[in-house]
Amino acid sequence: MLGKLTALGVAKLKAPGMYGDGGGLWLQVSGKGGKSWVFRYTLRGKSREMGLGPVSTFSLAEARDKALTCRKLCYEGIDPIEMRREQRQDAAVESAKAITFRTCADGYIEAHKAGWRNDKHAAQWTATLATYAYPVFGDLPVQAVDTSLVLKALEAIWSTKTETATRVRGRIESVLDWAATRGYRRGENPARWKGHLQNLLPKRSKVRKVEHHAALPFKDVPAFMRTLEGQPGIPAKLMIFTILTAARTGEALGARWDEIDLEAAIWSVPAERMKAGAEHRVPLSTAALAILAEMQGLDDIFVFPGSRRGKPLSNMAMLVLLRRMERAGLTVHGFRSTFRDWASETTHFPSEVVEMALAHTVESKVERAYRRGDLFEKRRDLMDAWATWCSQGAAR
């Protein structure tokens, strides 16, 4: 039966409870005297309640009209709650049409940069998107970004700069996911790889084979070091130090005096300068200490200063040196592979000691949990042995 309630009765009701009008329409009176309309219904065997608004805003007659609309939807098999949600989402997307992809990218970066390791990561995000994505759809509404636009941004570099293109694709996907979560766009993410772009672009492995950093055979290291020691300038000292410590190029370039304890013969690289985000202690051999002794007094901050005071050497300094030595086929990073090959083939040091010397993250979580130390003294023996190998036949 419909129409059980009257406007006067609705106004007079004070006792908390649910009062039916019929046809699924109910008046809900709360314990604090608040009154609102509720539509109750069952669809596909599932019972649901849908709020229709407060009595102060909607009269009994208006509530009945709302309930009638809901009953008609249910008759057609349409869930009123789901339909209202879709309508609100459509309205949100419509109002967000002025929000561009560039604006969303800025929002994503701002929201996540606090959790990134350093400011350089945020700068890389901005730079890659500005170079490859923004020219194509940066100023378009984020809702308008589709598969064809994403492909337009990626196809030009997918075969020539595959690693960069892969990063750009992932960053576009993250921005679009962020925009969808914020209600700025709807639909599938056109930048997702699995089940989508993988059907349109070749896999990285098919585009080009992975090129490893060129490494010098460890048997040739003593002769190379002998030649290197005859080279003038700070870049040669830096390269010797980098090789002796098996450090990454960036770690050695940015070495600071406040990281080095000459008395204890320890170089402590802070977490923010390490790839794994954890402090790395490097035991310094006598040969490495000798290089540091030669560098003292040149700069108060950086061990290997550049031409500008208070700045380290350029990251191109050692590459230029290799070209001058007519060894342009080598890379500085490749000497880490040389060090690993030497340790594996000529010594009995356990692999975990070698991996820790290279500041590699131990793969096994269980192994990491049980081994809390950094095997420092064993690594000191390893680095002393490496320095001895490097000096074979070299005049020191």
User: pLDDT tens digit string along 176-219?
Assistant: 999 999 888 888 999 999 999 999 988 876 665 544 556 889 99
155 inside domain:
yes
CA distance 241 to 255: 10
The verdict on 32 and 123 lying in the same domain is no
Question: Side-chain half-sphere of 19: how many Cα atoms within 13 Å?
Answer: 23
Sequence-ordered list of residues with C-beta below 8 angstroms from that of 92, at least 6 positions apart, any chain: 183, 184
The verdict on 229 and 349 lying in the same domain is yes
Q: What is the CATH number of the domain that holds 151?
A: 1.10.150.130
How many helices (H) and strands (E) the chain has is answered by 17, 7
Domain boundary among the residues 158, 177, 207 is at: 207
353 inside domain:
yes
Q: How many domains does the chain have?
A: 3
Confidence of residue 319 (pLDDT cuts 50, 70, 90): confident
Sequence-ordered list of residues with C-beta below 8 angstroms from that of 392, at least 6 positions apart, any chain: 222
Residue type, 118: N
25 inside domain:
yes
The verdict on 139 and 161 lying in the same domain is yes
Confidence of residue 60 (pLDDT cuts 50, 70, 90): very high
The verdict on 192 and 268 lying in the same domain is no
Report, as an integer, the average pLDDT of 234-258.
Answer: 94
Q: What is the pLDDT of residue 52?
A: 93
Token pair recorded at residue 177: 């996911």
Report, as an integer, the average pLDDT of 44-56.
Answer: 93
The verdict on 356 and 231 lying in the same domain is yes
276 inside domain:
yes
The verdict on 119 and 76 lying in the same domain is no
Structural domain for 194, as ranges: 101-207
